Structure 1
Amino acid sequence: MRARTAIVCSVADQGVAALTNILVLVTAARLSTLAEFARFSAVYLVFTVLLGVSGAYTGQPLVLRRGGTEEVRGACRSAVAFTLLAAAVLGAALAGVCLLVRGATADALMALGFVLPVVLGQDTMRYAFSTLHLPHLALAGDVLRLVCVLGALALQPHGAPAARLVAVWGLAALPALILSAALLHRRVAGATVRPGLLLRRGHLGRRFVVEFAVGNATGQLSVLGLGAVGNPLVVGALRGATTLFGPLNVLFTSATGFGPPLLGRLAGERRRVRAAALLAAVLAAGAAAWATVLALLPAPVGRRLLGDTWPTAAALLPATGSQYAAMAVGTCGLLALRMLDPRTTLAIQVAFSLASVAFLIGGYALGGVQGAAWGLCLGSGCKAVATWTRVARLANRSAAVRAPLSAGAARPGESS
């Protein structure tokens, strides 16, 4: 596939995935009461954490694979097999624990456990298609998922419990899983399946999981913690605001997961860094423009989007919009670092993600939900500055190393 076509298909696929994510939450908000949406949001947040862990452990190392065709095909089959097995074990354990706990939230988590292999398996196949340079097949699966999921949720009655919505959302992705599996099987049939390799010491996914844990999951779990020890509605308020930025959130996550195969087509480190910087500018401008559009929405339109959650979510739009602009810059900086040296990102993730949690908690203590939102924004801004500072240092160091080599190469008559 030509580079331009691959980029168009990959961007379209991320757009469809983003649209699915935001419409699922919007539909749930419209179908649910404020309390039920808070419950659904909490469970969906748990799924988001598990999805990120799965992508970090299996997907991100997969898209960095280099080697012969047979080796890459085998790696794709192994990653998918490992994800299905791990999701089945984890889902069964989650459902089993929730059977012992009474309550609507436990029921929703149990439903998540049952559908976990479906949703995680389909996502890993997206990474496999990207690795094989077949993003149009990932796009086909995601379009089918969008249609099936939204169609199934639209048939649910108003006031449906969170457990029912979670079950319907997960099972509706089954046709997309089947289609993706059929398309992938045609490309990787016969390749060696060795899922045990992903458990070996030195697997790059372990480092990426640590980065995800401190870079993404820590903040999300902190929001859950604030809801548990403080006001439970804080989860619905913050999630309602971030739901409105769902497309950008998916694009940020996809940048580090699906960006390397696309940027890898560019020759030279400087071109890749410039492309990442350009992407950061575009995404940051998009976040600012989208925040402006949302802020200008009339209240009746906002209520049609998020129902009873709209007033609290609308009040957080300035802080959340600023946070997403900063996240765009920081995420693209991490993508540039991943291309320059993937081992340099861990220290930044640890330091500034923990700082973001501190800003979140401190902001909540000083200003409630508004303070928590601005705390997250401050943390994202600090991480963005640190990330691009590191990119500049690595790029300058690489240029300094290449300069004497080029000078020596220009005098072939001299011996070393």
Structure 2
Amino acid sequence: MRNGTALICSVADQGVAAGTNIAVVIVAARRSDVHAFATFSLVYTVFTVLLGLTAAYVGQALVLEKGEPAAVARACRSAVAFTALAATTLGVPAALVLGAAGGATATALAALALVLPLALTQETTRYAFSTLHRPQYALAADLVRLAAVLPALALQPHGAGAARLLLAWGLSTLPALALALWLLLRHTRGAGQDPRHCLRRDHLGRRFAVEFGVGNAGSQLAIIGLGLLANPLAVGALRGATTLFGPMNVLFNAATGFGPPLLDRAGGARHAARAAGTAGGVLAVLAAAWATVLALLPDSAGRALLGDTWASAARLLPATGSQYAAMALGTCGLLALRVLKPRTTLPIQLVFSLAAVGCLLGGYALGGVLGAAWGLCLGSAAKGAASWLRTARLLDAPSGARGTARTATVPPRSADGGQGHPPSQRSTRGKP
């Protein structure tokens, strides 16, 4: 496939994947009451964390595989097999224990555990197609996924419980997974597989999983904690508000995926930093404009999108819009650092992700769910400021102090808490 066509397929797949995730949340909100949607949102956030961890440990390491075509094909099959085995080993016992525990939240978590192998394995096939330079296969599977999941959720009765919605969502993965596995096996016929490949001591996924944990999972786990220990409705409101900003997540994913190689060719460190700053400013303006559009939506239109959750989500739009504007600047600040000196991003992710968790919990203690939303905004703003201050210091330092590492490593994730979901090029070319 030509590079231009591959790029178009990758971008299209990213859009389809992001659109599917947005549509899932919107349809689930419309088919359930506010309490059921709160439980659904809580469990879906758990899935988001597990998905991100799988993407970091398996997917991001996989797309860096190089060598003979047969070896790369074997690595792809091994990664998919490892994901299926690991998710089944985790999911089946968890489903049995949680199902026996009873309660709406435990039952919904049990439903997620049952379908976890399907969802995670299909996700890993997308990284495999990225590694094999076959993004059109990932796009085909994701189109089938979109075509199956929306009717599966829409056919559920109004007021359906979270567990039922999650089962319908997970089982609707089967057609896309079957197509993806058929395409993968057909393209890698005779390559063999060794799932233990992902357990080697030098497996790069270990590093990427740590970076995901400190950079993305912290705020997600804090939101889950709010739902379990404080108020489940807070999770539904936060999930509803961030879902409305799904188009911005698509742009952030595109920036983190396609930005590093473009900045690397900008003609010097200062030109790269200037380009990253310009991109961040443009994205921040777009986030503010999108927040304004959402704020002007009539209540009838908002309820058509999120059902009963609209009332609580609408209150958070100013805070969430401000957070996304701050995330735009922070994401591009991390991109600039990745070009100048990649090793500087991990300390910033560690310190300011923990600070964001503190802001989230502190905001909730002071002002409820609205305070939590403003806390997330403050955390994103602090991370963005730190990234650009570090960038400025590097630009003032002698050129030799910046390091010479290339951007072919995995680009930094968005400066949010990991809201977006991977398309077919999620690591080196745009978060699959």
TM over 0.5, yes or no?
A: yes
Q: Distance in 1 between matches of 2:312 and 2:219?
A: 20
Task: Specify the alignment match of 2:346 in structure 1.
Answer: 346
Shift in Å, 1:107: 1.4
Aligned equivalents of 2:42, 2:326: Cα separation in 1? 24
SS in structure 1 at match of 2:156: coil
* Residue identity opposite 2:165 in structure 1: L
Distance in 2 (alpha carbons) for counterparts of 1:135 and 1:66? 17
- Residue in 2 aligned with 1:150? 150
Hey, what does 2:214 align to over in structure 1?
A: 214
1:2-401 matches, within 5 Å, as 2-249=2-249, 252=252, 256=256, 258-259=257-258, 279-338=279-338, 342-391=342-391, 399-400=399-400
Residues 15 and 251, structure 1, Cα contact 8 Å, conserved in 2: no
1:266–1:141 Cα change, 3 Å: farther
Asked if structure 1 preserves the Cα contact closer than 8 Å seen for 2:341 and 2:402, the reply is no
Query: Which secondary structure does the structure 1 equivalent of 2:202 belong to?
Result: coil
Residues 269 and 395 of structure 1 are in contact (CA less than 8 Å); yes or no, is this contact kept in structure 2? no
Segment of structure 1 superposing worse, 215-224 or 42-51: 215-224
Counterpart of 1:409?
none
**Does the aligned pair in 2 maintain the 1:63–1:260 contact within 8 Å?**
no
Measured after TM superposition, the shift of residue 126 of structure 1 is 1.3
Q: Structure 1 residues 66 and 21, CA, compared in 2 at 3 Å: closer, same or farther?
A: same
Give the distance between the partners of 1:266 and 1:245, measured in 2 at CA.
Answer: 30
Superposed CA offset, 1:77-136 (max 9, x none): 221111111111111132022123111221111111111111111111111222222222
Q: Is the 8 A contact 2:42 2:227 kept in 1?
A: no
Number of aligned positions between the proteins: 402
Q: Retained in 1: the 8 A contact 2:264–2:339? A: no
Structure 1: state its 5+ residue gaps.
404-416
Task: Give per-residue Cα distances to partners, 1:249-306, cap 9 Å, x unaligned.
Answer: 35545765x5489759969775876765565444333322221111110011101111
Larger Rg: 1
One-letter code of the match for 2:131?
T
SS for the counterpart of 2:93 is: helix
**Residues of 2 paired with 1:366 and 1:295: CA distance?**
24
Higher relative contact order (CA 8 A, sep 6+): 2
1:170/1:275 Cα in 2 relative to 1: closer, same or farther (>3 Å)? farther
CA distance in 1, matches of 2:167, 2:198: 29
Q: Percent identity?
A: 63
Q: Distance in 1 between matches of 2:61 and 2:314?
A: 38
Kindly indicate which of the two structures has a greater share of residues assigned to helix.
1
Contact 1:260/1:339, CA 8 A, preserved across alignment: no
Q: Is the 8 A contact 1:259 1:335 kept in 2?
A: no
Deviation readout 1:294-330 (Å, 9 max, x if unpaired): 1110011101111111111011101101111222332
Task: Identify the range of structure 1 (103-112 vs 312-321) with the bigger mean alpha-carbon deviation.
Answer: 103-112
3-state SS, counterpart of residue 382 of structure 2: helix
Q: CA deviation at 1:346?
A: 1.9
* In structure 2, distance between residues paired with 1:255 and 1:95: 37
Shift of 1:177: 0.9
> For the Cα contact (< 8 Å) 2:42–2:232, is it kept in 1?
no
Evaluate the alpha carbon distance shift between residue 278 and residue 144 of structure 1 in structure 2; reply closer, same or farther with a 3 A threshold.
Answer: farther
Determine helix, strand or coil for the equivalent of 1:46: helix
